[in-house]
Structure 1
Amino acid sequence: MAPSTSSSKRAFSAAMSLLLFFGMWASPAMSRKLHIMSMQERHEQWMSQFGRAYKDADEKAMRFEIFSDNAGRIDQFNEAGNTTFTLAVNQFADMTNEEFRATYTRLTTSSPIGDAATLFQYENVTNIPRFMDWRRRKAVTSVKNQGECGSCWAFSAVAAVEGIHKLKTGRLVSLSEEQLVECDRVGEDKGCDGGLMDDAFKYMIRHGGLTSETNYPYTATDSRPCNSRKANRIAAKIKRYEDVPGNNEKALLKAVAHQPVSVAIEASGWEFQFYSGGVFDGQCGHNLDHGVAAVGYGTSKGRMKYWLVKNSWGASWGEQGYVRLKRETRSKYGMCGIAMSASYPIA
């Protein structure tokens, strides 16, 4: 005899309830599996994008966990959408913040900062443009990459000299950071182990200038002896340098309005590590650990004033290698300490 319609309905309902129960029980595990698969795909794509390879499966597994943690935090940060800047899964995504700080932020600050502050040629300047971008004036070379070498100080000093050389001669020449890394042992300058922009300026003055990047190309190492033959082919000279009065954003504005300026910042925070775009006003203090170059300033569409800063971590970081830092903060030190230790060469 065929089962009744009501019996069939009861059997179907019971089966669906059982299926739903096991589906709900398995859902978290399934979601976790799908998440891992998706994150693994992202990791593989990221490895391909940045040419990253690991020595064995154990290292890959360890780096995947770091990547997964960073990517998850970045996604949550951007989804919250309550800041003036965004983050991205960039070339540092498989590094812990501790590893990142140890490799890419090596500015030396053990010696006194601002030892040329008695002179400031822009002190009485009053005509300050509301906007400045030295890239538009052809006074800034393309973004460079220091690699896994603590030579940010050299890139900062070189960017400032490239700028003033262009303004004085009309020629934009990409100058040699490698010469500073291998040949400059003035004061705190120790190649990939850190240095100071002021000491780099002192070396250039004593040596008679700096050669071109083409003549003495960058290697991201300091294991070779100084090549005097290359270093003596001078491409740009400076007469002296001056420090901007410390903890004074108005003074820094006067200087940047007239030329690119070497500045020191604290760049070791997790948010700065993964900065992608917008005006940065995130977590950072004033423990200076990174040398960069202020190459302009302006006001965003959201009416937030900013400093335009050229970094040396390649064009895949930030806004094609640049960061906009909030200008005119409540702190006398400026955003990330940008107003604390700025200096510029005079040609």
Structure 2
Amino acid sequence: MTPSHLFSATLLLLLAAFPAQAFSERPIHQLKLNSHILQDSIIKHVNENPKAGWEAARNPRFSNYTVGEFKYLLGAKPTPKKELLGIPVITHDKSLKLPKSFDARTAWSQCSSIGKILDQGHCGSCWAFGAVESLSDRFCIHFGMNISLSVNDLLACCGFLCGGGCDGGYPIYAWRYFVHHGVVTEECDPYFDDIGCSHPGCEPAYPTPKCVRKCVNKNQLWRDSKHYSVSAYRISSNPHNIMAEVYKNGPVEVAFTVYEDFAHYKFGVYKHITGDVMGGHAVKLIGWGTSDDGEDYWLLANQWNKGWGDDGYFKIKRGTNECGIEEDVVAGLPSSKNLVREVVSMEDTLGDASV
């Protein structure tokens, strides 16, 4: 057995020995799995509750989805407790003064990636989207590089080290992948094909894409398109630490528990009102604030396209760990070696042009 195969086999045994702590999820009857996720009864329950703080509606994104199809999108798996021991936990100086409200889209208005709302299609790839989107933003914030990195590279090529591709994965392992393997650009390895539907998008049964390690444009080299992170860490669950991290370094990836009512979110500050647990979901946290009603909230970008929620965004109650939103916050810093390579590449191009 080769060393790489031995490592893989050992890791599989370790993961089996220390199973992930599952989201508190009860089995759902098959009849319910086949029923529609959007229910008028849930909308009524939320909208007639004066203490809800948010409004529910029939989001077009899920107009034809069953409960089972909706559950499949929720691919964030909790990190095995044994693995958490080796992951650095970042805290920030409590004396750091933070604004009462903050929105990364306006703080770094030059970074177009921060304000993009993407679509994960029918794949449980939220864990990959939250990571790739946050790292793309951080390359712009720290190095002035307006780039979109490839979800497909991470989803297809990280393999069992990150989880199960479209069947879900571990956010912190995505960031570790960036450190060791980097991630190519969206231009090199796009998530959707030219049709915008079948890779891995519109068909619910579409499998995890295969890792090809070649850019769709044959004039681009896979290895030259890679962008790396220098670190992978968790942020302490104290709200001040999460706010300080976003304020200083840019958007972060967060995972939380999703209930049935979340599929119906339209606007306002979400908190769980009704419905069963559906699973774990990962998204990008970009800011915070306080509503007109005095409710502190987090501001987040989802990847269910603009046909869901508040034009693709949502707010969730801040400071009370609503749905576990403050428990599993992860990030990393972009690597400067990308800058060195791209400057050299630019100099080579200028040199050729001047000859």
- Same fold judged by TM-score > 0.5? yes
Name which structure has the greater RCO, CA cutoff 8 Å, separation 6+.
Answer: 2
In the other structure, the counterpart of 1:249 is 239
Instruction: Give structure 2 stretches of 5+ with no counterpart.
Output: 1-30, 192-198, 201-205, 216-221, 335-355
Asked if 2 retains the 8 angstrom alpha-carbon contact of 1:186 and 1:200, the reply is no
The equivalent position to 1:172 in structure 2, one of 129, 140, 146, is: 146
| CA drift at 1:309 | 0.9
Aligned partner letter, 1:254 = A
Aligned: 1:205 with 2:196: no
Aligned: 1:335 with 2:305: no
In the other structure, the counterpart of 2:223 is 232
Aligned: 1:92 with 2:62: yes
Matches of 1:181 and 1:126, distance apart in 2: 36
Segment of structure 1 superposing worse, 160-169 or 131-140:
131-140
The equivalent position to 2:314 in structure 1, one of 323, 332, 336, is: 323
Segment of structure 1 superposing worse, 304-313 or 89-98:
89-98
Matches of 1:68 and 1:310, distance apart in 2: 21
Asked if 1 retains the 8 angstrom alpha-carbon contact of 2:260 and 2:278, the reply is no
SS of the equivalent of 1:192 reads helix
Aligned: 1:307 with 2:298: yes
In the other structure, the counterpart of 1:44 is none
SS of the equivalent of 2:287 reads strand
Asked if 2 retains the 8 angstrom alpha-carbon contact of 1:181 and 1:222, the reply is no
Aligned: 1:127 with 2:97: yes
Matches of 2:41 and 2:278, distance apart in 1: 28
Over 3 Å counting, the alpha-carbon distance change for 1:200 and 1:222 in structure 2 is farther
Aligned partner letter, 1:225 = K
In the other structure, the counterpart of 1:195 is 169
Aligned length in residues: 277
Aligned partner letter, 2:273 = Q
In the other structure, the counterpart of 2:27 is none
| CA drift at 1:172 | 2.3
The normalised TM-score by structure 2 is 0.70
Aligned partner letter, 1:193 = D
Asked if 2 retains the 8 angstrom alpha-carbon contact of 1:108 and 1:188, the reply is no
Over 3 Å counting, the alpha-carbon distance change for 1:168 and 1:88 in structure 2 is same
Describe the superposition over 1:139-160 as per-residue Cα deviations: whole angstroms up to 9, x where unpaired. Answer: 4141111111010000010121
Segment of structure 1 superposing worse, 186-195 or 276-285:
276-285
Matches of 1:290 and 1:69, distance apart in 2: 18
Over 3 Å counting, the alpha-carbon distance change for 1:169 and 1:206 in structure 2 is same
The normalised TM-score by structure 1 is 0.72
Segment of structure 1 superposing worse, 152-161 or 211-220:
211-220
Matches of 1:323 and 1:79, distance apart in 2: 20
Give % identity: 26
SS of the equivalent of 1:86 reads strand
Q: Which has the larger radius of gyration?
A: 1
